[in-house]
């Protein structure tokens, strides 16, 4: 139900018949953990592309520590994008909000979380 706005049968190709079974059942994102656990299944991790720029620093750090090959591939994707942009005289882009290349993020060890005041 949380994604109802994204469901659009008008986007179907002539040979497609779109179905939205979770919407039809009235299921919300908050219902997923209960449903998954009641089936006796482990909770899966949040999914996202390995190079998702919305990924938070702790998620990058977990990838860096637990799956260095995936982290290296994400660094390669960032490198390719930035190299392409610089050949067009544009500024490089980074996959994090840290303002520096992903491969430099944990160069000197663990990244500490940023402290945010409650007033912000």
Classify residue 93: in a domain, yes or no. Answer: yes
- Which of 1-10, 37-46, 70-79, 111-120 has the least mean pLDDT? 111-120
Q: Is residue 74 part of a domain?
A: yes
Residue 5 lies in a domain: no
Q: Are 1 and 26 in contact (CB under 8 A)?
A: yes
Residue 117: pLDDT band by 50, 70, 90 thresholds?
Answer: very low
Determine the pLDDT at residue 34. Answer: 93
- Against a cut of 0.75, is the pTM above it? no
CB-facing half-sphere around the CA of 45: CA atoms within 13 A: 8
Establish if 2 belongs to a structural domain.
no
Q: Are 112 and 105 in contact (CB under 8 A)?
A: no
Any domain includes 115: no
Domain span holding position 62: 57-104
In a domain, 49, yes or no: no
Q: Quick one: what percent of the chain has pLDDT higher than 90?
A: 35
Q: How many domains does the chain have?
A: 1
In a domain, 116, yes or no: no
- Looking at the domain assignment, is residue 63 inside a domain? yes
Instruction: Return the pLDDT at 80.
Output: 94
Per residue in 50-85, pLDDT tens? 888 888 888 899 899 999 999 999 999 999 999 999
């Amino acid at each position: 139900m949380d994604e109802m706005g994204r469901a659009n049968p008008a986007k179907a190709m002539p040979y497609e018949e779109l179905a939205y079974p979770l919407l039809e059942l009235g299921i919300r994102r908050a219902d997923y953990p209960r449903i998954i656990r009641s089936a006796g299944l482990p909770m899966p991790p949040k999914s996202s592309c390995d190079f998702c720029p919305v990924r938070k620093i702790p998620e990058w750090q977990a990838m860096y520590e637990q799956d260095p090959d995936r982290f290296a591939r994400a660094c390669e994707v960032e490198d390719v994008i930035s190299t392409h942009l610089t050949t067009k005289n544009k500024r490089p882009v980074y996959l994090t909000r840290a303002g520096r290349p992903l491969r430099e993020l944990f160069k000197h060890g663990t990244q500490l979380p940023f402290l945010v005041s409650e007033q912000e």
